[in-house]
Structure 1
Amino acid sequence: MANEAFKNDNNSTGVHPLKFSLWLIIISIIMMFAAFTSAYIVRRAEGDWLEYDLPNILLINTIVIVLSSVAMQLAYVAAKHNNLQRLKIMLLLTLGLGVAFLIGQWNGWAILVENNVYFGGRGSNPAGSFLYVLTGVHGFHLVTGLIFVALTYMSSLKYKVHSKNLLRIQLCTTYWHFLGGLWLYLYIFLRINH
């Protein structure tokens, strides 16, 4: 019965409830990050803003997340063409690149700490706190994306992801591309406004 929710409904003219729910989640995340980046701009204009170099690992992470998005798209294409072996490989590659991204973020935070850029507390500056919040909240959402990819991978092992059952991989691909696009926005925003 639970798997019925993931089956394609080709006879329906409306939007699948799970797709609608995913888009509501994406819109709410967009609104949250719009609020964060707006607050960043307003607070920066007030002065008392610490200027520091962004860790170079953020550029490396940008490349990693773009590659993970490519791997996710290749997984989706493989599912559409019933290339189940390639589907599994590309999902694993997406997982690996997602974990590499998170490790890169952790290393980026370590570099910030080495340069005396901290989150909150005494001796901290709002500039550092904003960077930790922006990257940390994105990292949290990336963890949820990794869980989604892992569950899709587990379903592919049971042959529940294929050309006649694409909803799960469609949802996963949409969310993963969104996370990649969100990171690109954050990276460009930080480069321009830093």
Structure 2
Amino acid sequence: MMAATNNKEPQRIHPHKFTLWVAMGSIIMMFAGLTSAYIVKRSQSNWLEFSLPFVFWYSTATIIISSITVQLSLKAFIAREMKQYRTLIGITAFLGVLFISLQLVGFYNLESRGIPLFGVKSNSATSFLGIITGLHIVHVLAGVIAILVLFIKAYFSKIKNYSSVPLEIISTYWHFVDILWIYLFIFFNWPR
């Protein structure tokens, strides 16, 4: 009797997914370096202690909800429920913009409390907050733009491409920026 052989080739990762994972690794290293520098700098005598505005809690809830909606949009796309997919991807984009807006409201709140993020009157504590959260906002904005491209394609593309790879990539990235924000939020709120 002849033994059955397994002729299956190993499953390869899509090149765009691989590129995303490399990019996310680089982003992790950047934020790890910035938060490490924050920890080192925090031991200086002129470090300003302040609490984050409460609006950052709202922005955190917003990005967590957006992570749920992007996952549901992927599920709807795979099930070919295009109306539900369009709605959910649109909600995700809206929540991304809302997250950015709430972050900016938080910055404004600090400024109005006499805690400037940048400039002559700022402290390195506030500058670190501004740089780190500002870089995160840039990454969220990149995700929002990618989501808006998918949103526009869902409504106006004449060629119907049912490959879920672009949405899988954006969904992975969106979950990544969500987890990154949760890390940063805990990091900035951790008792000293």
- Compute the TM-score of the two structures, normalised by the length of structure 2: 0.90
Q: Which residue of 2 aligns with 1:8?
A: none
Q: 1:87 aligns with which of 80, 85, 88?
A: 85
Q: Distance in 2 between matches of 1:99 and 1:74?
A: 18
Q: Distance in 2 between matches of 1:75 and 1:161?
A: 16
Q: 1:68 aligns with which of 66, 69, 72?
A: 66
Q: Which residue of 1 aligns with 2:119?
A: 121
The 8 Å contact of residues 59 and 102 in structure 2, kept in 1 or not, is answered as yes
Q: Distance in 2 between matches of 1:16 and 1:155?
A: 21
Q: 1:143 aligns with which of 132, 141, 144?
A: 141
Q: Which residue of 1 aligns with 2:6?
A: none
1:160 CA displacement: 3.9
Distance 1:56 1:72, change over 3 A: same
1:151 CA displacement: 1.1
The 8 Å contact of residues 118 and 130 in structure 2, kept in 1 or not, is answered as no
1:161 CA displacement: 5.4
Q: 1:77 aligns with which of 75, 78, 85?
A: 75
- Root mean square deviation of aligned Cα: 1.5
- Compute the TM-score of the two structures, normalised by the length of structure 1: 0.89
The 8 Å contact of residues 161 and 168 in structure 1, kept in 2 or not, is answered as no
Structure number with higher relative contact order (C-alpha < 8 Å, ≥ 6 residues apart): 1
Could you say what secondary structure the match of 2:182 adopts? Answer: helix
Q: How does 1:23-172 map to 2 (within 5 A)?
A: 23-157=21-155, 158=157, 160=160, 162=162, 165-172=163-170
Unaligned runs of 5+ in 2: 1-8
Q: Which residue of 1 aligns with 2:4?
A: none
Unaligned runs of 5+ in 1: 1-10
Q: Distance in 1 between matches of 2:191 and 2:30?
A: 18
The 8 Å contact of residues 155 and 161 in structure 1, kept in 2 or not, is answered as no
